[in-house]
Structure 1
Amino acid sequence: MRATQSLTILCFIVTSFLGSQMARAQGCVAIRHFSSCVGTTLENNLLGAGDIQIGSNYRYFKSFRHFRGTEEEPDRVANETEVINHSHSWDFFLTYGVTDRLYASITIPTVINTRSSLYEHGRDERHTTFSRGLADIRVGMGYWVFDPVKHMNGNLALGLGLKLPTGSYNASDIFYNVGPEGSPQVRPVDQSIQPGDGGFGITVDFQFYQKIAERFFAYGGGFYLINPRETNGTRTFRETLSPILQNEAIMAVPDQFSLRAGVSHAFGANFSGSLGARYEGVPVKDLIGGNKGFRRPGNVLSIDPGIAFMKNNFSLNLNVPFAVRRERPQSVTDKETEEMTGEPRNGDAAFADYLINVGISYRFGSKKVKVDPELMDEFKN
């Protein structure tokens, strides 16, 4: 088998599990859309010097199931009082091979979001608010710890990136029955559908793969977004719902994280599949900076099946993670309110049952990566 074919097989086998890395966040009111700047497909990141990979990833979810802690509140759906978010997001990315081990990437995300609720419109009528536009751009670099040419059976990549506050974090729409004498009023939309969060952020990223059998690879990856800014100044109007929510009057700029692991397998010349788990969410407290302002902390554990198609320089992948555990833990403001009133307090959040991630990419190669002939036997059919 030729060297270039061996590299293609390696990229192909693992493409299916990292194919949705650009759109990782499980659909959830608690967890806004975010993707790591360098956590694209393995095939994207195994580049020779001067190679360029371009592509796009699409994500959709509908969140509507309400949870407090890990307990679902099914009466919200039964009584038709649930909050329903529809989220569409497109990430457009470009990755450049600086060397065979070092790569740089830029991700330009866009979103279209809708949010239907009763409580935001006087509680008697259901109305929908809307947001769209550019989200927060990410730039970053990644580095393969081991030489990909000599370590095709396993490797580890580490990444570091910067999130720019390019998305609107005070997008507004019309809210009904909330103004003077029940008139409509223009207000910022809910935090969950704001295109941006208003803060400069730092991302740390990793991904790894390890061959475990012929055409079988174990994989893993994840990122953590550090958002040092505490609040962004955008008013939530939550204090108008109840005086005890005064500490939630301004939106926070929270951290976010995601972890994935599983197994990938090549089924033939052009198709591969993967099965794994992912755990992602918004923490109760940030690593750096304060924790004032309103946030909905939450986390989701999902089973994550995927399938990928790859031919020559073109790749297409689909992942449909579905939730098996959802949690909306007690926030900092929940605890403050509980201490102040002496009454238990744990806000809720609406989560999705599943999300859809679709990715497509094309690679422009300036040269082919050379593979050590001693490794050829490892990738023969």
Structure 2
Amino acid sequence: MKTKRIHFILGISMLVLTCNPITLNAQGCVAIRHFSSCVGNSLENNLLGKGDLQVGMNYRYFKSFRHFRGTEEEPDRVANNSEVINHSHAWDFFLTYGISDRFYTSITIPTVINARSSLYEHGREERNSSFSRGLADIRAGIGYWLLDPIDNPEGNIAVGLGIKLPTGNYNATDIFYNVGPEGSPEVRPVDQSIQPGDGGFGLTLDFQFYQKVATGLFAYGGGFYLLNPRETNGIRTFRETLSPILENEAIMAVPDQYSVRTGLSYSLSNVISASLGARFDAVPVKDLIGGNEGFRRPGNVLSLEPGIAYMHQNFTLNLNVPLALRRDRPQSVTDRQTEISTGTPRNGDAAFADYLINFGISYRFPKNKAMDIDPSLRDTFN
């Protein structure tokens, strides 16, 4: 029976390994930072037998530079060289352990390197850059498959609960030029979009599912919501120095984030799978719990997400490249308050990327060493 379970897990993994991390980046300076679900990095990583251990790393990169107000792009920002450019790199190192065939637990240790180039943060006189790097917010959690995976090989759903710890620096600083007395340089906190952490304890709720559609073809999906009860983290933004109407944005907020995705995964061979899906990533205007004061850039991105993966024995590689289809920077709380008080329409802007590169590598250490796929399962799962 134990061998059969291991065979099942390997078989179903071939079809869902292209379901790469449910990751929120919002592809630009909308998102506070790179973030993914607390409970495991993918369906494949969470389909574990009792005692199995999965370790791996996921790398993500994007360059944001296209400015939007609402869903309307402002192409003149690029044309006149006034756009804000973010280069964001993140490495998530994760470990997932099978408590049983249905229960699993995971921990993710993220690290980041970010660079931000702008004019407006440096006195609007010359373009300069600010940087941040280091440990981000560690996540940990537990998940549970609602149906026994062995008895329900054609479809299942898992639910998870996790926590986000404020381990990342949320007061990273750098030198800003032409902003001090008589235009001198001054050390200030870097922009919210490249801070490694947000300064708050968070709670995540997530789900994942897969369902067989035809031989070799599965539907997949999942999502998470990050609850950040803390309203602000006390770090000054200096935005109030840009305009009196930005007084409400003088302190950084600690906003919620969420992501959902769905698509189809097809097994091209015994070692290669491909997927195509859609994803929606967002920072909401208002949090579900807690207040909404402080500075945040609400926004959302709808993306087309192609992916490909390779799996041989216990080794897995996967690549997903979400392509932005629709980008939206809605009115923030401050935008709405200003519009009501002045009678003048107002909608802040945000920079977004065209695409995101998401590459993962993992290795499984099975408790049971009998890893050949049972021939009776090949037609079912490949």
TM-score with structure 1 length normalisation? Answer: 0.96
Segment drifting more, 37-46 vs 55-64: 37-46
CA separation of 1:143 and 1:104: change in aligned 2, threshold 3 A: same
CA separation in 1, counterparts of 2:173 and 2:381? 57
Root-mean-square deviation over aligned CA pairs: 1.8
Asked if 1 retains the 8 angstrom alpha-carbon contact of 2:24 and 2:258, the reply is no
Q: For 2:355, what is the secondary structure of its paired residue?
A: strand
Q: For 2:347, what is the secondary structure of its paired residue?
A: coil
Deviation at 1:367, TM superposition (A): 2.1
Residue 365 of structure 2 corresponds to: 364
Asked if 1 retains the 8 angstrom alpha-carbon contact of 2:257 and 2:284, the reply is yes
The one-character-per-residue Cα deviations of 1:216-261 (angstroms, maximum 9, x if unpaired) are: 0001100000000000000000000011110000000000000000
CA separation in 1, counterparts of 2:34 and 2:329? 17
CA separation in 2, counterparts of 1:338 and 1:239? 17
Residue 337 of structure 1 corresponds to: 338
Q: For 2:140, what is the secondary structure of its paired residue?
A: strand
CA separation in 2, counterparts of 1:337 and 1:39? 41
Residue 229 of structure 2 corresponds to: 228
Segment drifting more, 47-56 vs 30-39: 30-39
Deviation at 1:374, TM superposition (A): 12
Residue 136 of structure 1 corresponds to: 137
Q: How does 1:346-365 map to 2 (within 5 A)?
A: 346-365=347-366
Matched, 1:164 2:154: no
Residue 12 of structure 2 corresponds to: 10
CA separation of 1:108 and 1:51: change in aligned 2, threshold 3 A: same
Residue 26 of structure 1 corresponds to: 26
Q: For 1:300, what is the secondary structure of its paired residue?
A: strand
Q: How does 1:63-142 map to 2 (within 5 A)?
A: 63-142=64-143
Segment drifting more, 7-16 vs 145-154: 7-16
Instruction: Say how many residue pairs are matched.
Output: 377
The residue type equivalent to 1:354 in the other structure is: Y
Asked if 2 retains the 8 angstrom alpha-carbon contact of 1:48 and 1:369, the reply is no
The residue type equivalent to 1:142 in the other structure is: G
Residue 263 of structure 1 corresponds to: 264
CA separation in 2, counterparts of 1:76 and 1:26? 20
Residue 328 of structure 1 corresponds to: 329
Residue 147 of structure 1 corresponds to: 148
The residue type equivalent to 1:30 in the other structure is: V
CA separation in 1, counterparts of 2:370 and 2:236? 52
Deviation at 1:5, TM superposition (A): 4.5
Deviation at 1:164, TM superposition (A): 0.3
Asked if 2 retains the 8 angstrom alpha-carbon contact of 1:39 and 1:207, the reply is no
Matched, 1:313 2:289: no
The residue type equivalent to 2:13 in the other structure is: C
Deviation at 1:294, TM superposition (A): 0.4
Asked if 1 retains the 8 angstrom alpha-carbon contact of 2:40 and 2:94, the reply is no
Matched, 1:35 2:36: yes
Asked if 2 retains the 8 angstrom alpha-carbon contact of 1:136 and 1:196, the reply is yes
CA separation in 2, counterparts of 1:359 and 1:184? 40
The residue type equivalent to 1:213 in the other structure is: A
Segment drifting more, 330-339 vs 139-148: 330-339
Gaps of at least 5 residues in structure 2 are: none
The one-character-per-residue Cα deviations of 1:165-206 (angstroms, maximum 9, x if unpaired) are: 000111000000000000000000000000000000000010
CA separation of 1:115 and 1:67: change in aligned 2, threshold 3 A: same
Deviation at 1:369, TM superposition (A): 9.5
Deviation at 1:337, TM superposition (A): 1.4
Deviation at 1:7, TM superposition (A): 3.3
The residue type equivalent to 2:126 in the other structure is: E
CA separation in 2, counterparts of 1:377 and 1:162? 37
The one-character-per-residue Cα deviations of 1:341-365 (angstroms, maximum 9, x if unpaired) are: 2211100000000010000000111
Deviation at 1:339, TM superposition (A): 1.8
Asked if 2 retains the 8 angstrom alpha-carbon contact of 1:20 and 1:319, the reply is no
The residue type equivalent to 2:309 in the other structure is: A
Residue 300 of structure 2 corresponds to: 299
Deviation at 1:6, TM superposition (A): 4.5
Asked if 2 retains the 8 angstrom alpha-carbon contact of 1:238 and 1:249, the reply is yes
Q: For 2:17, what is the secondary structure of its paired residue?
A: helix
Residue 246 of structure 1 corresponds to: 247
Deviation at 1:368, TM superposition (A): 6.7
Gaps of at least 5 residues in structure 1 are: none
CA separation in 2, counterparts of 1:229 and 1:56? 29
Asked if 2 retains the 8 angstrom alpha-carbon contact of 1:162 and 1:203, the reply is yes
Segment drifting more, 360-369 vs 262-271: 360-369
The one-character-per-residue Cα deviations of 1:17-53 (angstroms, maximum 9, x if unpaired) are: x2233x4423211023111111422221111111111
Q: For 2:230, what is the secondary structure of its paired residue?
A: coil
Deviation at 1:267, TM superposition (A): 0.3
CA separation in 1, counterparts of 2:300 and 2:145? 29
CA separation in 2, counterparts of 1:209 and 1:70? 32
